Amino acid sequence: MAYIKKKLSDNGKKAFRLLMDELKISMHEAQKLIDKKRLFCNGVLVKEKNKILDGIIELIIYENNPKGLDIVYENEDFAAIEKPSGVLTHPNGRNCTYSLCDEIWHLWGKKACVAHRLDKETSGILLVAKHKNSQIELKTMFEKRLVQKSYLALVKGKTEKEFIVNEKMDLAKDYDISKTRMHICENGKEASTQFYTLEYFENLDASLVLAKPLTGRQHQIRLHLFHVKHKILGDPLYGLKKSQIEQILDDKINKEERIQITGAKRLLLHSFSLEFTYKGQKFLIQSKKNIKDEFLEERIR
């Protein structure tokens, strides 16, 4: 999605009224756009909602740039999509040229939004609420842990057939590269993840595991696996030197160099399934991707 300046034609109106009339939106939505510093008159940012505008009036808007998306399931309230690795769930600034919003808004309009999030490099099943009511309902379900999630990951070493990790975690406050880096700590929040080994690849010394988070902490699966010495291949954050992390986050290394540093071209973590009850109906939505082969391809040198 590219951020562009769109010229508005009406003059002589109050700022909020002009936006309401031009965009056919509510007063609240118009005022919100002004608060977000999106409206300009003669190149000057408009800060006053009641200001009478006269001159060249421009509004910064999102211009959708859809590239195509795999839809796994869809009904009148929500859809389940396959999120590709490397795509942001939401645009992270005006330099962002593409995110899932390009696809979601193109397919279902501006009222549609994701019901939960996946990290940029995590691929797999993601739920999209099509309207406000389903958004509230689905987000509440995630917050109350009424949605059972499972993930697939390719990890370093040979893992046990079944194992569980119960380790408290919290933000690493002394970390100055990423605000979302977590660490294991005694005073952290409770976190528990159940793991099942599906296959061991002797030639790679790597295991394909199914992870079921029993709590919903950020980076929970990644940190728990790193803690038990089975780091997810391709992880750009945990177990690396500060200089290496900076190089990856700033896109200053190529794919081959990243394989050397992390073991894969991307984070080999995939949202495999979501299980929940919505309006009295039970749903089990699973990814249709052949993710094992995709993981192995990302691991090839």
Alpha-carbon distance of 56 to 58, in angstroms, equals: 7
Is 293 annotated in the active site? no
Using only the alpha carbons of the chain, give its radius of gyration: 22
Query: In the 8-state DSSP scheme, what is residue 51?
Result: P
What value, to the nearest 5°, has the Cα angle with vertex 241 and ends 238 and 242? 95
The answer to whether the beta carbons of residues 215 and 165 sit under 8 Å apart is: no
Residue of 65, 97, 68 lying closest to 83 (CA atoms)? 68
CA-CA distances (angstroms) from residue 255 to 236, 259, 263?
Answer: 12, 6, 10
* Helix runs in the chain, H state only: 15-23, 27-35, 100-108, 132-143, 220-227, 242-249, 255-262, 291-299
For the chain, how far is it from start to end, CA to CA, in angstroms?
32
Of 21, 35, 119, 170, the catalytic one is 119
Query: In the 8-state DSSP scheme, what is residue 280?
Result: T
Helix (H, G, I), strand (E, B) or coil at 142: helix
Burial class (CB in 10 A: 0-12, 13-18, 19+), 192: middle
Residues with a known catalytic role: 119
